[in-house]
Structure 1
Amino acid sequence: MEINPLMRVLFPLLVAAGLSSAALADEAESSTETARNLPAVSVVEATRAEVFARVPVSGSLVARQQVQVFPQVSGYEITEILVEAGDTVEKGQVLARLATDTLDAQLEQARAEYARAEAGVGQARSNIDSAQASLTQATTALERVQRLRQSGNASQAVLDQAVADEANARAQAASAGDGLAVAQAALGQAQAARRIAELNRDRAAIIAPVGGVISARTAELGAMAGGGTDPLFTLIENGEIEFSAEVIETALPELATGAPATVSIAGLGEISGQVRLIPAAVDQVSRLGLMRISLEQKPGLRPGLFGNGWITTAQRQAVTVPMAAVLTDADGERVQVVVDGQIESREVRAGLLWEGRREIVEGVNEGETVLARAGAFFSDGDQIRVIDEDRSQEPDDAEAAATAETAGAVGQADQP
């Protein structure tokens, strides 16, 4: 069989190409096998995200300012009750009324005493005028007798009598002045008594000292006001309810007034608020402090309802990695960064922990690749094989197709 001259030239070239392709395939297979023998690890990118620091709290709803209403006059029957627990009232609104018969009589008596004292002042003024006139007359008579005595026309006895009359008139004038002072004091006392009687009469109407919501009522019709130690009514000033929360002592340094809070109330859901008062002391047994959180007012808030929630003490954008990516030991905190397929252990300063991610304050930049789960068995410079946790370890399809194509080409070249 005669061989085509062209084939004599091409055949050695095809054989050489086939051998070269086989060598390349062997090299690729060897490289792939080496890569498969490297440790397989999952990696993630350091990303920027919002992180929070929160302090847990629990407690109950309370009135921000509770006002107790007591009767200001005691011993009088409650004749009318105008409000019930849960009612909203305004400042100065009448809540209940007391019997006023005795108070009316006392007021009339006080007014009569005032009128009499007022008349006494007028009488004392008249006495002063009369005494002043008598003193003027006695002084004039004394001066006349003294002139007569000097001229020898009046006896010594007449002069002595004139001196005595002038002294008596002066004493009466002084007494009239004192009488006016006494009368004016009596008028002031009568005026005060009348004022007290008027106040007592007005206080027969029990009024709300502030606007708000009636939270409790102990007043009963027919009962004597002031007969017990309990208030007739209890008000929540302006109807404002807030959260009285217990917080652990170790969290106190992080708290500040005005810090935002979220409280979940039984039956009402989450309600926003902010810290109003920080604990001034800590219970020596429970090691908890009581704080107050002002809440957004909404229907359904009632003292006594239980709640729990969080106080946000910090909030910021930061570079974060999965919590498991941070390795902590006696040497500090570090993250294992992947650079060109090699491990690089890097010291970091970790910060807040939020929703499974850890803030990296220093040591790693946004976008760098790190091991999703750091391991103490890795050292600097170790080669790794990067994988995705969600994919199985299968041969590369493109690599298998390329190998098959090369083998086919070599087979065809061997044919005459």
Structure 2
Amino acid sequence: MLTKKTKFLAIAAVLVGVSVWFLLHPTHQAELADKRSKREAAGAATAGKAALSVEAIQPVAVQWPMTTTLNGSIFPWQEALVSAEIGGLRIQQVLADVGTQVRKGEPLVLLADETVKADVQKQMATVEKDKAALAEAKSNADRAREIRESGALSAQKINEYLIAEQTAVANLALSQAELENQKIRLRQTRVVAPDDGVVSSRSANLGNVVSSGAELFRLVRQSRIEWRGEVNADQQMAIHTGQVVNLILPGAKKVTGRVRLVAPTVDSNTRNALVYVDIPKDAAKPGMYVQGKIDVGQQQGLAVPLSAVTYRDGFAYVFELGQLGSQNTSKVTQRKVRTGRSRGEQIELLEGVAPHASMVLTGGAFLNDGDTVRVISTVKGGV
């Protein structure tokens, strides 16, 4: 059994040995302290290192026009049907084709007119015959009137002469009317354009025997076209005659038109109304389906440059800057926003950030929520 004195002497010997070792090795303690300080410095540097150097901006208040977007097709302003007014005749000559510019009264189709000309000649002969009959009846009636008081002719015979005269007058008028009718039929063998315009379709073919009322051509009246956009009932109240409409045609071509009228009724099936817009004659072709935008007023909003908005997974985000720290560093917060109108290099923010929030101008695609950035400058006015 060790005595208390023996234990005390053993512990004292160990302590003396450790002290002697540290006295013989003074650099070991310094190395440990140096390594500890380096680790702490490296940790501090890592914590404060900026992921990106950025410029800061704030949303700006803008007064932009409100735009209503419509879709619709281009139609002829009015389409005229050109039909045959006479039937049973063969097409002898076709003088126009699709795309032909025509003037009012210009012939488009000539029909074979031999039989009609023969009917005209026949009726002219009938008129001459009725004229001769009238002359004879008139002569007899005049003699009857002269001798009416002499009693040479009975009253019945005199009445017969007078009635024959009236009948001859009526027959002549009837034959003359029929002659005029035959002349009209002769004129109808020339099918003419009812108005100025351009031929949009043709069904007339050489040699066809036409029937009365058969469609031969269609004309775009006065070569005038219009765009008919569909608008719902809510948007309809903001659209008025005379407003400017910007149409976006295939190939990114833009055409400006004006609202001519807004349909007074809403379609019971689609719940949409039509907006009729006059556009330049040669700007587009009927049948095109295009988009149109109508400025319907002014509305205030907040806008930022397009570069400040980052799109990920189908959503729009901005990176909002927090409180600036040492060396102008700041942590960013990824904010989901809803965008609206765009104009030039700016886009409207409808919701998601405060009006006075600071955010990253460019480089959002390289950032993540919580990253530290260094702010090198602040761009005034958001541009």
Q: Do the two structures share a fold, i.e. TM-score over 0.5? A: yes
Helix, strand or coil at the partner of 1:285: coil
- The answer to whether structure 1 residue 175 and structure 2 residue 155 are counterparts is no
The 5 Å alignment of 1:32-181 reads: 46=61, 49=63, 51-138=64-151, 168=154, 170-181=155-166
Asked if the contact 1:42–1:373 (Cα under 8 Å) also holds between the matched residues in 2, the reply is no
Q: What's 2:267 paired with?
A: 283
Aligned equivalents of 1:313 and 1:354: distance in 2?
Answer: 14
Tell me which amino acid in the other structure corresponds to 1:91.
K
Q: What is the CA distance between 1:187 and its match in structure 2?
A: 1.3
Aligned equivalents of 1:42 and 1:73: distance in 2?
Answer: 78
1:240 to 224, 228, 245: 224
The 5 Å alignment of 1:350-389 reads: 354-355=341-342, 356-357=347-348, 373-374=353-354
Relative distance call for 1:44 and 1:310 in structure 2 (3 A) is closer
Asked if the contact 1:52–1:354 (Cα under 8 Å) also holds between the matched residues in 2, the reply is no
Tell me which amino acid in the other structure corresponds to 2:230.
E
**Bigger mean CA offset, 243-252 vs 191-200:** 243-252
Which protein is bigger by CA-based radius of gyration?
1
- The answer to whether structure 1 residue 220 and structure 2 residue 233 are counterparts is no
Q: What's 1:306 paired with?
A: 289
Asked if the contact 2:229–2:292 (Cα under 8 Å) also holds between the matched residues in 1, the reply is no
Aligned equivalents of 2:158 and 2:245: distance in 1?
Answer: 80
Relative distance call for 1:42 and 1:269 in structure 2 (3 A) is closer
Could you say which structure has the higher helix fraction? 1
Aligned residues: 271
Q: What's 1:187 paired with?
A: 172
Q: What's 1:259 paired with?
A: 243
Aligned equivalents of 1:373 and 1:117: distance in 2?
Answer: 99
Q: What's 2:256 paired with?
A: 272
Q: What is the CA distance between 1:357 and its match in structure 2?
A: 4.7
Q: TM-score, normalised by structure 2?
A: 0.63
Aligned equivalents of 1:320 and 1:246: distance in 2?
Answer: 27
Q: What is the CA distance between 1:117 and its match in structure 2?
A: 1.7
% identical equivalent positions: 23
Helix, strand or coil at the partner of 2:142: helix
Helix, strand or coil at the partner of 1:135: coil
Q: Deviations over 1:322-360 (max 9, x none)?
A: 49xxxxxxxxxxxxxxxxxxxxxxxxxxxxx7534599x
Aligned equivalents of 1:183 and 1:122: distance in 2?
Answer: 8
Aligned equivalents of 1:389 and 1:214: distance in 2?
Answer: 59
Aligned equivalents of 1:122 and 1:77: distance in 2?
Answer: 41
Q: What is the CA distance between 1:57 and its match in structure 2?
A: 1.2
Could you say which structure has the higher strand fraction? 2
Aligned equivalents of 1:184 and 1:95: distance in 2?
Answer: 40
Aligned equivalents of 1:322 and 1:239: distance in 2?
Answer: 44
Q: What is the CA distance between 1:99 and its match in structure 2?
A: 0.8
Asked if the contact 2:70–2:291 (Cα under 8 Å) also holds between the matched residues in 1, the reply is yes
Relative distance call for 1:280 and 1:179 in structure 2 (3 A) is same
**Bigger mean CA offset, 282-291 vs 206-215:** 282-291
Tell me which amino acid in the other structure corresponds to 1:203.
Q
Q: What is the CA distance between 1:46 and its match in structure 2?
A: 4.4
Q: TM-score, normalised by structure 1?
A: 0.59
Tell me which amino acid in the other structure corresponds to 1:373.
V
Q: What's 1:293 paired with?
A: 277
